[in-house]
Structure 1
């Protein structure tokens, strides 16, 4: 039987462990009770509880529909990609088998379009699996194009007879600017397929489970990487747009539209005068016109702060469209466009598209929504205010109709 050299210390440690366990359980139960009470108070408020419960039901139904649609798309995409992968592997294994010259010609032409900037300047001749390339090509592209054509299934040999040029010069076939669209691996693309998102999410979950055996600094780093991959797979947004780093003005896209019972000409005089925006939207505190399509805006920010930024018009079409963007270096980087479309009978459809880059990208956008600052809801409110203001102003200036 093994005895401890410090029985008093071991007894003290057991007492501390016994005391800590009930304390943690008590704190956990108290936190759960506070959260449950807050949820009940939020949903059962006498004044706004009914509206909040209806909103929760609508959002739950919307989320359920999105899940069903995602499962349906995944169930269709996964088997097809699986069959495609099997067919591609079988095709590679039978690469040395005879292929019709006409089919092989089309394969080579398609592959050249991915690696050569001027594929129309290259002539392809196929005879019994031997591919002969003639014409003109740039020197910087010929080796990569030759390797790509050599990998085409069914090609036995590649005979290069084209003329390589260091630059376009006076060669007719190499004139004009063009850029070949090289194949991009699935995980390096901006948008992932449903199967790739499922695969990455499963790998992230598996890697998270295996990090428990690693030392603490390594486990933290690995779990952070797993979290980033899981968010990338769940949102299907690139890391630039997800984090807001080097994403310019486009991290979040917003779009909404509304129909207003005002003619396009009348509505244009209202929306094209930025100084009147402070009358329509309470968050717009001040707008100063700087000339040459530039303006300075002061809007109300969170926690009583003021957000200042400059905007520059990039396009203006009378009675139809205004587009703008913020100059480089602005804290609130964004770009947008407002379009007016006549609907007949004195009505106009107003469509607003915006792209902006909040702090921490899409993650910051999600946190703002959790805190009740939803930009989508805010845009909808602003459009409703514009509709109310424009229609009430039209009614105020419209002469009264008298009946005899």
Structure 2
């Protein structure tokens, strides 16, 4: 290795380490914020309830005290260790709960109390944005290191998924549809858009838990017509990932067997994965559902839907499913 390569590698390591320290400092600042908020909520639950529009009834005060205790728990996690950044995902989970509760308060209140609840919701949404940005930096800092995927960093947890489906269409037709990657959001519901940027590169935008979005750039690393397509995220991506899809003739002339292999970093490690599952965004189920939609759209030209889920099968809606009639 040349001296120039060594120097560039050392500079990259220094920048990565500095980014780690910045993320940890920000996470520690959030820990102090949790400590302050928790102390106030426990010491004066009535005042906090009135100010936020929740109210000062006994149940409302009890709820404020519980939220305060949770904030102290966040503070203990963020301030009690040498590497606090991965624990920022606990605050994101708390923000989701708070926004859900405040949304119900806004819907139930009128007049001044509703205005206070709306203002409190705006404040919590702003805090949630900072929390999520901090948590996502944990994934970015691993993804930017040599190796490019972000695997194995203190805030990341590598997840491998495997799934397969048989599509009753010729292999060339199935490959051709997937090869146009701008088609992917039509059956991958977590994707908002995929745009080709030239020379085998593309820009991806996906939905994250709690209605947030995450974006990254990717490159195609293998493309054998009618056989294999493989891709990986570029260094510095918010969520490191790589994937491969194989197309083979199904036995008995039943069309094409599509096999997907996907490795990706879970922001926030196991805690981030648990949060995603809590919010109904189970990764394994998403992949299987995506392949079923792919089969439908290639075989019939559209995703079959029903009155019970008119906009498609989002994982978050599964708990609210009901017996349905065909769409009129």
TM-score (norm 2): 0.44
Q: Which has the higher contact order (CA 8 A, sep 6+)?
A: 2
TM-score (norm 1): 0.36
Please tell me whether Structure 1 or Structure 2 has the larger radius of gyration of its CA atoms. Answer: 1
